[in-house]
Amino acid sequence: MTYLITKVKVSNGIPLVVKDSICTKGILTTAGSKILKGFVPTYDATAVRLAKKAGCKVVGKATQDEFGFGTFSTNCAFGVPKNPHDLSRSCGGSSGGVAGYVAASKSDVFGLGESTGGSISCPASFCGVVGLTPTYGLVSRYGLIDYASSLDRIGPITQTVEDAAWLLSKIARYDKQDSTSIKKSAEDYTLYCGKSIKGLKIGVPKEYMDLATKNVRDTVTLAINQLEKLGAKIVPISLKYTDLALPAYYIIALSEASTNLAKFCGMRYGLQDKLDGNFNTYFSKVRSEGFGEEAKRRILLGTFARMAGFQDKYYIKALKIRTLVIEDFQKTFKKVDVIAAPTMPIVAPKFSEIEKLSPLDQYKIDVLTVPVSLAGLPQLSVPAGFVGKMPVGLHLIANYLDEGKIIQVGDAFEQS
Amino acid sequence: MSKVKIGLEIHAQLNTNSKLFCGCKTKSATPNTATCEVCLGMPGSKPVLNKKALDFAVMLSLALNCKVAKASRFDRKTYFYPDLPKNYQITQYHSPIAEDGHVFVQSKKIKIRRIQLEEDPGSITYPQHIDISNYALVDYNRSGYPLCEIVTDPDFSSSKEVKQFLKLIVSIVKHLKVYTSDRSFRVDTNVSIGRNPRVEIKNVGSIKDVVSAIEYEVFRQKQEIENGQRIKQETRRFNGSATVSMRGKETEEEYGYIIDPDLPVIVISDAQLKKIVKAMPELPSQRMQRMMQQYKINKHQAIAIVSEKELADFYEKVAKDTDAQLAASWISTQLLKVLNYNNLFFSETDLDVQHFVPFLNLIRKSKISDRAADLLLRELVLKPQHPGTLADKLKLLTLTDAKLLELTVSVLKKHKKQTEQYKRGDSKIIAFLIGQVIKESKGRADAKKVKQEIVKYLA
């Protein structure tokens, strides 16, 4: 099965599979891109270092959409992972290799994924595993190959909520090497497992339910009913900037990505070519060869959006919408403890269906995960049930640093 | 002819121990050894702001009377160049550290538009001239050095004003200890005449070269205008004697600035600001006031002395060991004149207290006339040595009484007619006789003493 780009032999320890965009000392790290061919970091990402300290052993680097650019893990330079529940379907993206590997594994295995616009939740939902995306800044980004620095988050992809809580407890530390890291003392998130959810207020956003296909909506509705049975109070809510969040997300993410990817030019690491012509010619040659089609599309879109003539219209406006989205969530969390919704509007699609989607259609499928990504709120996708043989994810969202609450609800649901 | 307008962008490397966004040292080292994953832009690395550099920038902002922003940010300026590891430079565009300041250069107000922090790129060396080299070498040791950029309004109308301003800025940054002479100090200069487009002269590395470049550029533009040519908006470089075209002016747009999402908002609290103010060393303007009181010297002298930090340090050392007012008078006039004449800054000479104090003592003890002292100083500045020995060698010392008498007698004998006139009561003619003695002495006789000798001899 093509879940891993690099397989590492280890004898003992807790097996950990790591998304390829996260640097691992001495192990090839490509972020799923040909342009980083041969790049072996001299350092571990902080999250990897901390996981190792907790007893984890890196067993492999998982394939992914190039730099995280995709919803289906079909934009991969080193292998497209297939959904263990149906090999003709996608694992979701962009941490598809990690989720697929964790889902296919017969034994205990932990995964480290990375999300920019939903890249942990989406594959977790499609593969029927748990994906926990913590508050922005809770887990250090040091050593993560950036997609969009203001959105990127590292988080666990595991078989159970308790596993995710355990791994998060080990990797959530203040790190002075990441200026956006949150100064917060360590917390044992497993303590939130096995707790009653009686009296917790769970908001269900109408907009999110409406955007899901009927099968998915029905499955998630059953899950929410189950939460009510467990004692939670279900509150209908409205998140009115949902439709604006999608374009704002893509503008911000791609503007940042187009600068983050500027460093890849075949000069100091990664793909190289024969040196001739001036540096401009050489950089263009390496970048044309090394980047895949989607990476090129996103670099072009991002570069366009941040040009001075268009900046106010796109980049600056998107930043304003981001503030509105954040305020919308903040208002909501005055009324409810947790938001529950479908993780993805659909179940994992067939590769043959994905081929027919335009890039814009593909971007639209992120509609449920991008608002929460823009806000940087903690989110947890737990398996909610099936449509046919394909899993459906229940998305739980909480306020900043309220990881405990979504773990509490997710674990209670999983155990019921 | 229309008015010349000049504006400056100064990039001063800050005197911090480590780089702006990583822990690498800022000492000179073998190429590509003072580097790490951050300043090499390795995948996954992230910048962390050097607090010292921030303090320095704030200190400088306050010294230049700027409004320090309570919140500022870093931005990414994207362009592809081999010396720029990330292919974007972390700089400040949307919200700089400080804005809206000013300094006075001789009573003319020069507005400081903004002060910002940014990282220096690496450096490129070519084995031969850039145009014929078939390869280039990149050294990333400089990558990430902290730069403070000072942007002025186009308030200057001559190279002379620019020179005085730059000298003042250098004096200020040296007094604040945020900059030392071993760091780089580079200036981009915008020159325009009347309503014609402005031309930018990039990356000139010394005050003298900035002055020469402006003089050349103003001359060139005036010529073009006189010849009916249109001035192109462009970027030029200075090759030591002339400015040459580099490229058409890139507009700001092409850099696609965005907020650097790896770095949070820089918040400067009132408490921090107070702490920085408290820790601020004496500024040239404060030093000037203090020196006026402490050494009883006048304002004109004090201003001249603090124009260069090294000169002010020198003066205070000299003042401790000899007559402070005499020292101020000689330093602020004759010494600066000699330096200017030779196009030298004081810091470029080896003149030291051990030369200058005995020099002043020669004057104090009337062992040398003012005119001879002036001549002696010219020699001393270029080739510092013991002033007494040199003066003796150059026959500049005042004559002894015996020699003076001998000389006076011989002059009187030579000019019998005038001597007779004097004897007959024409007292005015003595001036002529004194003049002759001084002339014969080659400036080594003191006028007052000569007069005494003549009066005594002919009495």
Decide: A103 and A143 in contact? Cβ < 8 Å.
no
Checking A240-245 for CB contacts under 8 A at 24+ apart, the result is A240/A207, A240/A328, A241/A321, A241/A324, A241/A325, A241/A328, A241/A371, A242/A205, A242/A207, A242/A208, A242/A211, A242/A367, A242/A371, A243/A207, A243/A367, A244/A321, A244/A324, A244/A325, A245/A321, A245/A325, A245/A367, A245/A370, A245/A371, A245/A374
Residue of B43, B82, B254 lying closest to A39 (CB–CB): B43
pLDDT tens, residue by residue, A219-257: 999 999 999 999 999 999 999 899 899 999 999 999 999
Give me the CATH code for the B401-458 domain, please: 1.10.10.410
Domains located in chain A, CATH noted: 4-243+320-415 (3.90.1300.10)
Q: Residue A336 and residue A315: Cα distance in Å, rounded? A: 32
pLDDT at B316: 97
B261/A256 touch (CB, cutoff 8 Å), yes or no = yes
Q: Which of A21, A119, A125, A373 is catalytic?
A: A119
Is residue B271 exposed (0-12), middle (13-18) or buried (19+ Cβ within 10 Å)?
exposed
Q: How far is B251 from chain A (nearest CA, A)?
A: 9
Q: Which of A21, A94, A121, A169 is catalytic?
A: A94
A268/B76 touch (CB, cutoff 8 Å), yes or no = no
Residue A243: phi and psi, rounded to 5, are -70, -30
Q: Check if B49 contacts A (Cβ < 8 Å).
A: yes
From chain A, pick out residues whose CB is under 8 angstroms from the CB of B252.
308
pLDDT tens, residue by residue, B270-311: 999 999 999 999 999 999 999 999 999 999 999 999 999 999
pLDDT at B440: 85
Is A183 a residue of the active site?
no
Decide: B267 and A321 in contact? Cβ < 8 Å.
no
pLDDT tens, residue by residue, B222-246: 999 999 999 989 999 999 999 999 8
Is A201 a residue of the active site?
no
Decide: A250 and A147 in contact? Cβ < 8 Å.
no
The residue behind tokens 């470089």 is B237
Residue of B41, B49, B256 lying closest to A303 (CB–CB): B256
Residue of B44, B76, B78 lying closest to A145 (CB–CB): B44
Q: Residue B440 and residue B455: Cα distance in Å, rounded? A: 18
| pTM for the structure as a whole | 0.92
A263/B41 touch (CB, cutoff 8 Å), yes or no = yes
pLDDT at B248: 65
From chain A, pick out residues whose CB is under 8 angstroms from the CB of B49.
179
For an interface test with B, the pick among A261, A284, A306 (most B C-beta atoms closer than 10 Å) comes out as A306
Residue of B76, B86, B253 lying closest to A308 (CB–CB): B253
pLDDT tens, residue by residue, A129-180: 999 999 999 999 999 999 999 999 999 999 999 999 999 999 999 999 999 9
Q: Residue A359 and residue A70: Cα distance in Å, rounded? A: 9
pLDDT at B132: 84
pLDDT score of B253 more than 60: no
Instruction: List the one residue out of A290, A274, A291, A292 whose CA is nearest residue A282.
Output: A274
Tokens of B229: 């040519």
A179/B88 touch (CB, cutoff 8 Å), yes or no = no
* Percent with pLDDT over 90 in chain B: 75
From chain B, pick out residues whose CB is under 8 angstroms from the CB of A278.
none
Q: Check if B228 contacts A (Cβ < 8 Å).
A: no
Decide: B329 and B363 in contact? Cβ < 8 Å.
no
Q: How far apart are the first and last CA of chain B?
A: 66
Mean pLDDT of chain B: 93
The residue behind tokens 């229309």 is B2
Q: How far is A248 from chain B (nearest CA, A)?
A: 15
From chain B, pick out residues whose CB is under 8 angstroms from the CB of A265.
80, 87
For an interface test with A, the pick among B133, B259, B263 (most A C-beta atoms closer than 10 Å) comes out as B259
pLDDT at A147: 98
Decide: A211 and A337 in contact? Cβ < 8 Å.
no
B256/A41 touch (CB, cutoff 8 Å), yes or no = no
Decide: B437 and B450 in contact? Cβ < 8 Å.
yes
From chain A, pick out residues whose CB is under 8 angstroms from the CB of B263.
179-180
A176/B86 touch (CB, cutoff 8 Å), yes or no = no
Q: How confident is the model at residue B7 (pLDDT cuts 50, 70, 90)?
A: very high
Q: Which residue of A has its CA nearest to B85?
A: A263
Q: How confident is the model at residue A376 (pLDDT cuts 50, 70, 90)?
A: very high
Provide the ipTM.
Answer: 0.95
Q: Check if B48 contacts A (Cβ < 8 Å).
A: yes
Q: Residue B400 and residue B392: Cα distance in Å, rounded? A: 12
Enumerate the CATH 1.10.10.410 domain ranges in chain B, comma separated.
Answer: 401-458
For an interface test with A, the pick among B258, B260, B263, B266 (most A C-beta atoms closer than 10 Å) comes out as B258
Q: Which residue of B has its CA nearest to A307?
A: B256
B78/A280 touch (CB, cutoff 8 Å), yes or no = no
Q: Which residue of B has its CA nearest to A262?
A: B87
Secondary structure (H, E, C), chain A? CCCEEEECCCCCCEEEEEECCECECCECCCCCCHHHCCCCCCCCCHHHHHHHHCCEEEEEEECCCHHHCCCCCCCCCCCCCECCCCCCEECCCCCHHHHHHHHHCCCCCEEEEEECCCCCHHHHHHHCCEEEECCCCCCCCCCECCCCCCCCEEEEEECCHHHHHHHHHHHCCCCCCCCCCCCCCCCCHHHHCCCCCCCCEEEEEHHHHHHCCHHHHHHHHHHHHHHHHCCCEEEEECCCCHHHHHHHHHHHHHHHHHHHHHHCCCCCCCCCCCCCCCHHHHHHHHHHHHCCHHHHHHHHHHHHHCCHHHHHHHHHHHHHHHHHHHHHHHHHHHHCCEEEEECCCCCCCEHHHHHCCCHHHHHHCCCCCHHHHHHCCCEEEEEEEEECCEEEEEEEEECCCCHHHHHHHHHHHHHC
From chain A, pick out residues whose CB is under 8 angstroms from the CB of B261.
148-151, 180, 256
Buried/exposed code over B338-370 (b: 16+ C-beta within 10 A; e: otherwise): bbeeeeebbeebebebebbbbbbbbbeeebbbe
Rounded to 10 degrees, what is the CA torsion of B409, B411, B416, B417? -140
Number of A–B residue contacts, CB under 8 Å: 106
B256/A268 touch (CB, cutoff 8 Å), yes or no = no
From chain B, pick out residues whose CB is under 8 angstroms from the CB of A144.
44
Q: Check if B253 contacts A (Cβ < 8 Å).
A: yes
Q: Which residue of B has its CA nearest to A279?
A: B82
Instruction: List the one residue out of A100, A72, A96 whose CA is nearest residue A85.
Output: A100
Checking A48-54 for CB contacts under 8 A at 24+ apart, the result is A48/A16, A48/A18, A48/A22, A48/A23, A48/A24, A48/A112, A48/A143, A49/A143, A50/A170, A50/A171, A50/A173, A51/A16, A51/A110, A51/A112, A51/A167, A51/A170, A51/A171, A52/A16, A53/A170, A54/A14, A54/A167, A54/A170, A54/A171
pLDDT score of B442 more than 80: no
From chain A, pick out residues whose CB is under 8 angstroms from the CB of B48.
176-179
Instruction: List the one residue out of B201, B219, B204 whose CA is nearest residue B158.
Output: B219
Half-sphere exposure of A335 (CA within 13 A, CB side): 14
Q: Residue A319 and residue B95: Cα distance in Å, rounded? A: 15
Q: Which residue of A has its CA nearest to B131?
A: A278
Q: How far is A110 from chain B (nearest CA, A)?
A: 22
* Percent with pLDDT over 70 in chain A: 100
Q: Check if B137 contacts A (Cβ < 8 Å).
A: no
Q: How far is A276 from chain B (nearest CA, A)?
A: 10
Q: Which residues contact A353 (CB under 8 A, 6 or more apart)?
A: none
Q: How far apart are the first and last CA of chain A?
A: 32
Q: How far is B100 from chain A (nearest CA, A)?
A: 24
Q: How far is B125 from chain A (nearest CA, A)?
A: 14
Other residues' Cβ atoms within 10 Å of the Cβ of residue A52: 18
* Inter-axis angle of helices B270-279 and B51-63, nearest 10: 80
pLDDT tens, residue by residue, B175-215: 999 999 999 999 999 999 999 999 999 999 999 999 999 99
From chain A, pick out residues whose CB is under 8 angstroms from the CB of B256.
258-259, 303, 306-308, 311
What are the angstrom distances between the C-alpha of A114 and each of A69, A134, A147, A149? 12, 10, 10, 12
The residue behind tokens 């006076």 is B408
Q: How far is A296 from chain B (nearest CA, A)?
A: 16
pLDDT score of B252 more than 50: no
From chain B, pick out residues whose CB is under 8 angstroms from the CB of A280.
80
In B66-105, the residues whose Cβ lies within 8 Å of chain A are 76, 78, 80-82, 85-88
Instruction: List the one residue out of A305, A247, A268, A302 whose CA is nearest residue A67.
Output: A302
Other residues' Cβ atoms within 10 Å of the Cβ of residue B142: 21
The residue behind tokens 């002919």 is B458
A143/B263 touch (CB, cutoff 8 Å), yes or no = no
Q: How far is A120 from chain B (nearest CA, A)?
A: 19
Residue A60: phi and psi, rounded to 5, are 180, 160
Q: Check if B43 contacts A (Cβ < 8 Å).
A: yes
Tell me, what DSSP letter sits at residue B2? Answer: P
Is A19 a residue of the active site?
yes
pLDDT tens, residue by residue, B316-345: 999 999 999 999 999 999 999 999 999 999
Instruction: List the one residue out of A73, A71, A79, A70 whose CA is nearest residue A7.
Output: A79
Backbone CA torsion sign across B223, B227, B228, B233? negative
From chain A, pick out residues whose CB is under 8 angstroms from the CB of B250.
none
Helices (H), B182-228: 207-226
Q: How far is B24 from chain A (nearest CA, A)?
A: 14
